Chain A
Amino acid sequence: MVLVIGGSGSGKSSYAEEVAVSLSKPQKKKYYLATMQVYDDEGQRRIARHRALRQGKGFVTIEQPVNIQKSLKEMESGERTALLECISNLTANEMFTQEKTTSEAQVTEDIIKGITMLKEETTHLVVVSNNVFEDGMVYDKATMEYIHAMGVINQQLALLADQVVEVVVGIPVIVKGMKIINPSS
């Protein structure tokens, strides 16, 4: 399992795609687990940009905004690689868009359980997460709980992962494990 982290506009998505493609054998199944829920035009554009990035790389998209382990039901058995994008949306969806607000501890536990299952059931798993920790702002209680949950989840994912890579201005900086691929430039 590879954990890829980075900020907005860091190039983490395209790097994570390259990693997933390079890990997967040709002809083997590649799944893109999409977590984003679309509410407006900006969301639509964001998704269109990501789709364009993925085009021609052979990913099958599975929309799974919550309960990430359920995506396994949509996959064919056998050798398969999954790219999950991203933990920040998944956490927000699990925390805020259910019928009721779910506690930070519960969300953390559910997400780690779900990703542990994905890791066990796939040949390669690439997980994209977001650095939301360095703007120095103090937000309302719910947002601070969200940031805290993201921090705990990232730490636990880093323990599960064989490799952790931070993407900075499009450049992969290795945090844990060996170098996987070079940036394409």
Chain B
Amino acid sequence: MKLIIGGYAQGKLDYVLSKDQLQEHVVWDGALLDDILSNDGPFSTKGPDRQVVINHFHQWVRQRMQKGRRPEEEILLFLERCEDCMIISDEIGNGIVPMDPFEREYRERVGRILIQLAQKAQEVWRVTCGIGQKIKG
């Protein structure tokens, strides 16, 4: 798994798609993705020459939290079935601590999940201004 992080609108998806010159790929939008483990979900689209990319991962976490689910466990189960994927997420923790308790929890949980994913990842890239820096691997 490769993890790609960076601020909002930094060109993370474009960077990933151009850097790896993926022959074939399927991009899943975390904002629209519901159950990541469903049988017709992302891992049903992987193939020997086809890479699964989960974009807007932070938005998927947010959605799952709103539904009272456990994104921490779901993503690990997903990775067992789709180890060779790419996950793209915004960095959302670099600001003033929000007044709203849900927003606070959201930032904290996205941060902790990304730490876990970074530990599992073969490579971690941070994209700023469309330019990637490899910070692990």
A residues bordering B, Cβ < 8 Å?
Answer: 6-11, 42, 131-137, 139, 143, 147, 168-171, 173, 185
The 5 closest A-B pairs by CB, nearest first: A9-B111, A135-B95, A7-B93, A170-B115, A8-B93
Interface residues of chain B: helix, strand, loop or mixed (majority): mixed
19 pairs across A/B with beta carbons < 8 Å? A6-B93, A7-B91, A8-B107, A8-B111, A9-B111, A9-B114, A9-B115, A10-B93, A11-B111, A131-B93, A133-B94, A134-B91, A134-B95, A135-B94, A139-B96, A169-B3, A169-B111, A169-B124, A173-B126
A132 touches B115 (CB 8 A): no
In the bound assembly, the distance between CA atoms of A9 and B93 in angstroms comes to 7
A173 touches B135 (CB 8 A): yes
B residues bordering A, Cβ < 8 Å?
Answer: 3, 5, 7-8, 91-97, 101, 104, 107-112, 114-115, 117-119, 124, 126, 133, 135-136
Cβ–Cβ < 8 Å partners of B97 in chain A: 8, 132
In the bound assembly, the distance between CA atoms of A44 and B114 in angstroms comes to 24
A134 touches B94 (CB 8 A): yes
In the bound assembly, the distance between CA atoms of A171 and B117 in angstroms comes to 11
In the bound assembly, the distance between CA atoms of A147 and B96 in angstroms comes to 8
Extra contacts besides A133-B94, A169-B124 (16): CB < 8 Å: A7-B91, A8-B97, A9-B112, A10-B111, A10-B115, A11-B111, A132-B97, A135-B95, A139-B96, A168-B5, A168-B135, A169-B118, A170-B119, A171-B135, A171-B136, A173-B135
Cβ–Cβ < 8 Å partners of A9 in chain B: 93, 107-112, 114-115
A7 touches B95 (CB 8 A): yes
In the bound assembly, the distance between CA atoms of A8 and B93 in angstroms comes to 5
Cβ–Cβ < 8 Å partners of B136 in chain A: 171
B111 touches A42 (CB 8 A): no
Cβ–Cβ < 8 Å partners of A169 in chain B: 3, 5, 91, 111, 114-115, 117-118, 124
Query: Looking at the complex, which one of B8, B94, B118 makes contact with A171 (CB distance below 8 Å)?
Result: B118
Interface residues of chain A: helix, strand, loop or mixed (majority): loop
**Quick one: closest B residue to A42, CB to CB?**
B101
B124 touches A171 (CB 8 A): yes
Least Cβ–Cβ distance between A54 and chain B, in angstroms: 17
Least Cβ–Cβ distance between B125 and chain A, in angstroms: 11
In the bound assembly, the distance between CA atoms of A135 and B91 in angstroms comes to 10
In the bound assembly, the distance between CA atoms of A136 and B94 in angstroms comes to 10
In the bound assembly, the distance between CA atoms of A157 and B126 in angstroms comes to 25
Cβ–Cβ < 8 Å partners of A137 in chain B: 95-96
Cβ–Cβ < 8 Å partners of A171 in chain B: 118, 124, 135-136
